[in-house]
Amino acid sequence: MSAAVPAHDSAHHDDHAHAHPTGLTRWLFTTNHKDIGTLYLFFALAMFFLGGSMALAMRAELFQPGLQYLNPEFFNSLTTVHGLVMVFGAIMPAWVGFANWLIPMQIGAADMAFPRMNNWSFWLVVPAAILLVASFFVPGGAAASGWTLYPPLIIQQGISIDMTILAVHILGASSIMGSINIITTILNLRAPGMTLMKMPLFVWTWLITAYLLIAVMPVLAGAVTMLLTDRHFGTSFFNAAGGGDPTMFMHIFWFFGHPEVYIMILPAFGVVSAIIPAFARKPLFGYASMVYATASIALLSFIVWGHHMFTVGMPAAGNLFFMYATMLIAVPTGVKIFNWIATMWQGSMTFETPMLFSIGFLCLFTIGGFSGLVLAVVPVDITLHNTYYVVAHFHYVLVSGALFALFAGAYFWLPKFTGNMYNESLGKLHFWLSVIGFNIAFFPQHFLGLAGMPRRIPDYALQFAEWNMWSSIGAFVFGFSQLLFLYNVIECIRSNRKAADNPWEGADTLEWTHLPSPAPYHTFETAPVVK
């Protein structure tokens, strides 16, 4: 038995145990889900500006025909690293940041299920990003293969490829750990009475996304490991000279790559499903159908990978199967679009910044979906494959889809995250400049693609000059308007405009008025609502 501790000692001991770490120690060793969410969000923001500056360098080169600023190898390296940084460095970590912040609060949990693993999965992302970016500065420069890392091109390049492969491995490990954490948290830590069909849709979309990540990340790891052994250990998985098949890499890569696209967009569906009902002041239309639609999209995403490969010589029956399977995905997606429109129908809507970005998402993501349906038609795709039409299509899905939803979520929950209100006028200016710049940048690329301009080239024929000029102007408008967002976020954190308990008056949603979660040391909590 231990001796009794004097009262004042025990009080002192108690204080010491609950003294919160500050400064660097706090951020390095934190296991608080809100702190880790904040780390992810700021990391994603930094990567977003890095990847964006690469895009602007490419658009500066493409402003007019002829070689102005970049040599062709460097241009191709930019296409590779821009894609990898935006997918693995900006969009995915940003969604994991939202998941960390919101999932425990939305299900009434004290924290994530595995707080230390949560810390680790964030700190793995940082060295991976450093490896990716450092690949520019090694002999030979970054891989000039595009973000898809296709052999045989990738087999012959220098150490930058090995750095990229290692980065992808580390990012995969981080994603798998984060997903295990999210699934365990959602399935085991829900508040009493919160059944699966009572969860906010953001939680549902992340539950499904986490299962997708666990399913496909090991596939990507396998593909890049086979690349690594082809490069250094004498195997011939993808080397035709040794009996391998470069097309096999495409099958393995896209079996990962297509669900990956949905991994980036499903959490966006969850955010928009939280925001539209809040500003329409009515419940989400067709909650159950939204859950089933999300699950259907996730399942179908595994059987459509071949639509990236209509030109590699698959049998006609294979092309036909992938064409119809791809068109089938439009059905549950259409259900979601219909439900969001029905939610807004006859609602008493107001148009604050989060709602504007959500409506922007709705309109522009739908355009991306329609251009995807165009590309699903085999003969059309054979003509348009690897042209700027494809670039336009996936930027409509990933920029006006995933990124706009991220902005919407950031503005919607910033008062919750910081306790302060952001500058609404600046937010609206950011929205309008983004939406105008984005459309000027990417809509003309449909015309360039239809006219036959190939992607991933630093120079082009004179006939493409005018639309490329417009596209570059739009890209710079879009790019520089993101500085407004950065300023608004920092100004919001540092301002003293205290947000109300529910800043969106009348928007009485689960997100604002459900179960409280323990406050971290630096954010306010909403007052518990008396039912």
Q: Among 308, 395, 416, 430, which one carries the catalytic annotation?
A: 308
Count Cα neighbours of 213 within 13 Å in the Cβ-side half-sphere.
29
| Catalytic status, residue 258 | yes
| Catalytic status, residue 432 | no
Q: Among 30, 175, 353, 434, which one carries the catalytic annotation?
A: 175
CB 357 within 8 A of CB 411: yes
Q: Among 38, 273, 343, 472, which one carries the catalytic annotation?
A: 273
In eight-state DSSP terms, residue 403 is I
Q: Among 35, 162, 260, 352, which one carries the catalytic annotation?
A: 260
Q: Among 333, 371, 387, 471, which one carries the catalytic annotation?
A: 333
Radius of gyration of the chain, Cα coordinates, nearest whole angstrom: 24
Four-CA torsion 475, 477, 479, 485, nearest 10 degrees = -150
Q: Among 34, 59, 169, 307, which one carries the catalytic annotation?
A: 307
Q: Among 101, 206, 262, 413, which one carries the catalytic annotation?
A: 262
Q: Is 423 helix (H, G, I), strand (E, B) or coil?
A: coil
Calpha distance 454→463 (Å, rounded)? 13
| Catalytic status, residue 69 | no
Q: Among 35, 61, 111, 230, which one carries the catalytic annotation?
A: 111
CA proximity to 500, closest of 526, 528, 530, 519: 526
CA proximity to 77, closest of 149, 168, 145: 145
| Catalytic status, residue 135 | no
Q: Among 59, 258, 430, 446, which one carries the catalytic annotation?
A: 258
CB 268 within 8 A of CB 333: no
CB 226 within 8 A of CB 249: yes
| Catalytic status, residue 10 | no
Instruction: Compute the residue count for the chain.
Output: 531
Task: Output the furthest CA–CA distance in the chain (Å, rounded).
Answer: 89
| Catalytic status, residue 13 | no
Q: Among 147, 422, 467, 504, which one carries the catalytic annotation?
A: 147
Which two three-digit tokens encode residue 434? 């983004």
| Catalytic status, residue 111 | yes
| Burial state string for 159-186 with b = 16 or more CB within 10 A and e = fewer than 16 | ebbbbbbbbbbbbbbbbbbbbbbbbebb
Q: Among 455, 470, 508, 522, which one carries the catalytic annotation?
A: 455
| Catalytic status, residue 305 | no
SS (H, E, C) 165-224: HHHHHHHHHHHHHHHHHHHHHHHHCCCCCCCHHHCCHHHHHHHHHHHHHHHHHHHHHHHH
| Catalytic status, residue 393 | no
Q: Among 82, 169, 393, 395, which one carries the catalytic annotation?
A: 82
In eight-state DSSP terms, residue 84 is H
| Catalytic status, residue 523 | no
CA proximity to 417, closest of 192, 100, 143: 100
Which residues lie below 8 Å from residue 404, measured CB to CB, with a gap of 6+? 268, 357, 358, 360, 361, 364, 365, 434
**What is the enclosing helix (H) or strand (E) of 319?**
helix 316-344
| Catalytic status, residue 336 | yes
Count Cα neighbours of 428 within 13 Å in the Cβ-side half-sphere.
5
| Catalytic status, residue 174 | yes
| Catalytic status, residue 396 | no
| Catalytic status, residue 514 | no
What are the catalytic residues? 82, 111, 147, 174-175, 258, 260, 262, 273, 307-308, 333, 336, 455
